[in-house]
Amino acid sequence: MFNQKYIHIHNAALNVTAKFVATAEGTALAYGSLVFMALLPIFFGALRSVTCSKSKNAADMPETITSRDAARFPIIASCTLFGLYLFFKVFSQEYINLLLSVYFFALGVLAMSHTMSPLMSRIFPDSFPNKQFQLLFTQGSGESKEEIVNYEFDTKNLVCLVISSVVGVWYLLKKHWIANNLFGLAFALNGVELLHLNNVSTGCILLGGLFVYDVFWVFGTNVMVTVARSFEAPIKLVFPQDLLEKGLDASNFAMLGLGDIVIPGIFIALLLRFDVSLKKNSRTYFYSSFLAYIFGLGLTIFVMHTFKHAQPALLYLVPACIGFPVLVALLKGELTEMFSEHAFLHVTTTSGAGHANKEKGETVPK
């Protein structure tokens, strides 16, 4: 799904729609739900990133983000963000969002299908008639024949595709916030699972660069907030603060950009793979960074609620997600190993997450 080096996700700061006074209960429910939804793709995406590393051949691995990619990312993200801002200023917002809706409909269906596939494999009984299919497109003939598309799938994948398409049509027609969140969660989980940093140093470069990016575009200009409010696409998770008053038809939302989930999430997933590579049957770095994310996101919400102003979430998430694991590494005397370029390229065993390593007896947390 996200098999490209750059992920075009824009970090929308936590924010609320104006001219609405939320109740304390509504605010607590909205923020609590956002935190819970943010944790789901990080936790399960990290576990699936380990499975991905174990079960695929090197040629089939997702593209790894290198230090050069990480250094370029904030520049590319800034150009994309400002380009969208200019588009919304010059062209009709209605037509832009119409094109984006169709684009994200296709992406969302594929992302959600990929997310649901492992679950469907567990739900369907072994007796289910699961037929295999292959979609093959070639160019030319004879010795000059070249494969353009070679995609293998089965009946379970088709069931996932049908369910995802129903959600996609719902989103396309109604733009309902639940459909938005289903697609958003699928995008985030796919991003955490399939975007692999090659080492901790690269992760620090990426998070550090996006730290500056987030602070500049939120505090320095109104560009990010304007795009986040104008951009009708599942690039953010939303939850209504007036849900208790209006039910599912609520319309005053708190929001969290997917970038504030995926970017720290791929770093947390990296630390889980580092834990696995240490072969100590311990997940210290994963859990410390996961708790750091909860702390950083909670601090973001507290500051935003206190000062009534949009906050760049990475301002608080980056120091927490880097600082906590580094402190743990210092205390354990593993700082050099953590920042070693070859400490944990990929887990080379072929078993999946949650299965025991035959040699060391290690397991990935479920």
pLDDT tens-place string over residues 25-44: 999 999 999 999 999 999 99
Task: Write out pLDDT tens, residues 233-288.
Answer: 899 999 999 999 888 888 899 999 999 999 999 999 999 999 998 888 889 999 99
Q: What percent of the chain has pLDDT over 70?
A: 85
CA distances from residue 299 to 213, 216, 236, 317 in whole angstroms, order as listed: 19, 19, 19, 9
pLDDT for 227 equals 87
**pLDDT confidence band for 6 (50 / 70 / 90):** very low
pLDDT at 124: 80
Whether residue 108 has pLDDT greater than 60: yes
Q: At what angle do helices 314-332 and 284-307 cross, to 10 degrees?
A: 150
Question: Is residue 13's pLDDT more than 50?
Answer: no
- At residue 200's C-alpha, the angle toward residues 194 and 206, to 5°, is 70
Domain boundaries, the chain: 15-124+152-338
Q: What is the pLDDT of residue 62?
A: 65
Q: Which residue has the higher pLDDT, 2 or 214?
A: 214
Residues marked as catalytic: 214, 260
pLDDT of residue 151: 78
Residue 329 has pLDDT above 70, yes or no: yes
| Tokens linked to 16 | 């609320």
pLDDT in tens, 127-139: 778 888 888 888 8
pLDDT of 357 > 80? The answer is no
pLDDT of residue 180: 96
Lowest-confidence pick of 103-107, 112-116, 216-220: 216-220
pLDDT at 56: 53
More confident residue, 299 or 121: 299
Contact criterion met (CB below 8 Å) for 274 and 198: no
In this predicted structure, the answer to whether residue 309 has a pLDDT above a threshold of 90 is no
Contacts of 312 (CB under 8 A, 6+ apart): 11, 13, 214, 215, 217, 218, 219, 224
pLDDT band with cut points at 50, 70 and 90 for residue 366: very low
CA dihedral 346, 160, 106, 44 (to 10 degrees): -40
pLDDT recorded at residue 320: 97
Residue 362 CA to residue 356 CA, distance in Å, equals 5
pLDDT at position 3 over 70: no
- Identify which of 72, 88, 78 has the alpha carbon closest to the alpha carbon of residue 233: 88
Instruction: Read off the pLDDT of residues 51-94 as tens digits, 9 standing for 90 and up.
Output: 887 765 444 456 789 999 999 999 999 999 999 999 888 888 88
Instruction: Report the amino acid identity of residue 148.
Output: I
pLDDT (0 to 100) of residue 12: 40
Q: Reduce the DSSP state of residue 197 to 3 states and report it.
A: strand
Model confidence, pTM = 0.84
Q: Is the dihedral of CA 46, 200, 198, 74 positive or negative?
A: positive
pLDDT number for residue 260: 96
User: Coil, strand or helix: which one is 129?
Assistant: coil
Whether the predicted pLDDT of 348 surpasses 80: no
| Alpha-carbon torsion, ordered 158, 196, 233, 114, to 10 deg | 10
List, for residues 149-202, the tens digit of each pLDDT value.
777 888 888 999 999 999 999 999 999 999 999 999 999 999 999 999 999 999
Query: How many whole angstroms separate alpha carbon 178 and alpha carbon 171?
Result: 8
d(CA 114, CA 1): 8
Whether residue 46 is predicted with pLDDT greater than 90 in this model: the reply is yes
Mean pLDDT of the chain: 85
